[in-house]
Amino acid sequence: MLADILPPSPVVPTVDFNADGAQHGLLRLPYSRDDSAWGSVMIPIAVVKNGEGPTVLLAGGNHGDEYEGPVALFDLARTLRTEEVHGRVIIVPAMNYPAFRAGTRTSPIDRGNLNRTFPGRPDGTVTQKIADYVTRHLLPLADVVLDIHSGGKTLDFVPYAAAHLLDDKVQEARCFAAVAAFGAPYAMRMLEIDALGMLDSTAEAMGKTFVTTELGGGGTARAATIAIAKRGVRNLLRHAGVLEGGSEPGEGTRWLDMPDGQCFHFAEDDGLLETCRDLGDAVRRGDVVARVHPIGRTGRAPAEYRAALDGILAARHFPGLVQTGDCVAVIGTVDP
Ligand code: ZN
């Protein structure tokens, strides 16, 4: 096995994963640099354990400009009481901590996109070292893994929890049952456009029950999407048997599909975005969902982006200006 020949992780946790009680500690990742020769990146982590039972790993801040996860998980870490837990909850509210502190998707240290870096390397960049620690030290402890994303500064989504179609149909059913339990307004059978190096595929390959989310975006978090995240993490803990009680349903969940690559609509020119539909709006195949206006001079016709499928607008480009290659719109098809 590759894991046998890799050097040990340089990351040192200040928590004991096997101790009962609530611990608030740090993952200390050595980072030697000009302004701190023996410096470290200190990643907050909480462990709440009470006896035997399943382990749930809850992660936010995989991308540093997505805020529902950090808000819900810093809040949960502070409020979760040992007595209400059966088993163990491991909480990492801001996994790519340097990116989170910078408010950017990728790390300011090495430009690492953590969710394209898995399984990582113990002898690589800071971002690769974070991925390696999660892969070899946190994922093996977990039965259920939740990674909370939203759209960041450049995308905005209807709020959904999601899992992927998997070859192992038993595992796939476990993942979708957990997605349903999360109780977001939407649930997605998700197709990835760029799955290589994701925490998702790494956790799934290890047989974990894995749930991801896209809860909003635009480089902030709204009251409504924070409430979805807070309710969802507790619902998932109940579903896993770590907390008692049944799932607290929201307003009901609509199931969406991303059946193939036609869901994604990419800009073929730079310009000014005119959104023609809002998130959650119904669209028919052929409807114009966005126009991109040339901005060099007046009098030129905009490029039109038409829905390739019937469904709803599930995601859109967020900033007002578009660059060639940006994802302008994503259509999710609606389950009958
Ligand atoms: Zn993300």
> Residue 4 has what pLDDT?
63
Q: Report the 3 state secondary structure along the chain.
A: CHHHHCCCCCCEECCCCCCCEEEEEEEEEECCECCECCCEEEEEEEEEEECCCCEEEEECCCCCCCCHHHHHHHHHHHHCCHHHCCEEEEEECCCCHHHHHHCCCCCCCCCCCHHHCCCCCCCCCHHHHHHHHHHHHHHHHCCEEEEEECCCCCEEECCEEEEECCCCHHHHHHHHHHHHHHCCCEEEEECCCCCCCCHHHHHHHCCCEEEEEECCCCCCCCHHHHHHHHHHHHHHHHHHCCCCCCCCCCCCCEEEECCCHHHEEECCCCEEEEECCCCCCEECCCCEEEEEECCCCCCCCCEEEECCCCEEEEEEECCCEECCCCEEEEEEEECC
Q: How confident is the model at residue 192 (pLDDT cuts 50, 70, 90)?
A: confident
181 shares its domain with 302: no
**Could you tell me the distance, in angstroms and rounded to a whole number, from the CA of residue 176 to the centre of ligand 1?**
20
The pLDDT score that the predictor gives to residue 246 is 82
* Ligand 1 centroid from CA 213, angstroms: 9
Asked which of 235, 255, 275 is the last residue of a domain, the reply is 255
Q: Are residues 221 and 300 both part of a single domain?
A: no
The string of pLDDT tens digits covering residues 134-151 is 999 999 999 999 999 999
Residues 39 and 159 in one domain: yes
What is the model's pLDDT at position 2?
53
Q: Is the pLDDT of residue 128 over 90?
A: yes
* Residues with Cβ–ion distance below 5 A, ligand 1: 63, 66, 149
pLDDT at 274 over 90: yes
Domain end position, chosen among 255, 285, 308: 255
Residues 14 and 64 in one domain: yes
Q: Are residues 168 and 219 in the same domain?
A: yes
What is the distance in A from the centroid of ligand 1 to the CA of 187? Answer: 16
Distance 4 CA to ligand 1 centre (A): 30
Give CA–CA dist 285/305, Å, rounded: 11
Residue whose C-alpha is closest to residue 332's, from 258, 250, 241: 258
Gap from CA of 159 to ligand 1 centroid (Å):
13
Mean pLDDT (the chain) is 96
Give the tens place of pLDDT for each residue, 197-232.
999 999 999 999 999 999 999 999 999 999 999 999
CATH number for the domain that contains residue 37: 3.40.630.10
Q: Say if residue 63 is in the same domain as residue 104.
A: yes
**C-alpha to C-alpha distance for 257 and 263, rounded to whole angstroms:** 9
CATH number of the domain that residue 312 is part of: 2.40.50.100
Contact between 61 and 97 under an 8 Å Cβ cutoff? The reply is: yes
Please check whether residues 145 and 219 belong to one and the same domain: yes
Cα(81) to centroid of ligand 1, in Å? 28
Q: Is residue 122 very low, low, confident or very high in pLDDT (cuts 50, 70, 90)?
A: very high
Both 181 and 290 in one domain: the answer is no
Would you say residue 3 has pLDDT above 70?
A: no
Instruction: Based on the fold, state whether residues 247 and 269 are members of the same structural domain.
Output: no
Whether 100 and 236 map to the same domain: the answer is yes
Distance 52 CA to ligand 1 centre (A): 32
CA of 158 to the centre of ligand 1 (A): 14
Condensed to tens digits (0 to 9), the pLDDT of residues 296-332 reads 999 999 999 999 999 999 999 999 999 999 999 999 9
Instruction: Kindly provide the b/e burial profile for residues 100-132, where b requires at least 16 CB atoms within 10 angstroms of the residue's own CB.
Output: beeebbbbebeebbbbebbbbbbeebbbbbbbb
Structure confidence by residue, pLDDT tens digits, 12-33 = 999 999 999 999 999 999 999 9
Measured in angstroms, how far is the CA atom of residue 215 from the centroid of ligand 1?
Answer: 10
Total domains present in the chain: 2
pLDDT over 80 at 249, yes or no = no
Position 250 pLDDT exceeds 80: no
Dihedral, CA of residue 18, residue 79, residue 46 and residue 233, to nearest 10: 90
- Whether pLDDT at 248 is above 90: no
CB atoms within 10 A of CB 99: 28
Task: List residues bridging with 144 in a β-sheet.
Answer: 56, 209
**Would you state the pLDDT for residue 271?**
98
pLDDT at 13: 98
C-alpha of residue 51 to centroid of ligand 1, in Å: 33
What mean pLDDT do residues 78-95 have? Answer: 98
pLDDT for the residue numbered 335? 81
Span from the CA of 300 to the centroid of ligand 1 (angstroms): 35
Which pLDDT score, from 0 to 100, does residue 171 have? 98
The set of residues, in sequence order, having a beta carbon less than 8 Å from that of 229 and lying 6+ positions away, is: 68, 69, 71, 72, 148, 213, 215, 221
Q: What is the pLDDT of residue 59?
A: 98
CA distance 88 to 55: 5
User: Rounded to an integer, what distance in angstroms lies between the CA atom of residue 215 and that of residue 116?
Assistant: 20
Say if residue 50's pLDDT is above 80.
yes
Residues 248 and 326 in one domain: no
Q: Name the domain boundary from 213, 230, 255.
A: 255
The predicted structure's pLDDT at residue 195:
83
Chain centre to alpha carbon of residue 47 = 20
Ligand 1 center–CA 178 separation, angstroms:
19
Residue 240 and residue 288 share a domain:
no
- Domain range holding 284? 261-334
- Using the mean position of ligand 1's atoms as its centre, give its distance from the Cα of residue 122 in Å: 23
Q: How far is the CA of 148 from the centre of ligand 1 (A)?
A: 8
19 alpha carbon to ligand 1 midpoint, in Å? 31
> How many other C-beta atoms lie within 10 A of the C-beta of residue 82?
14
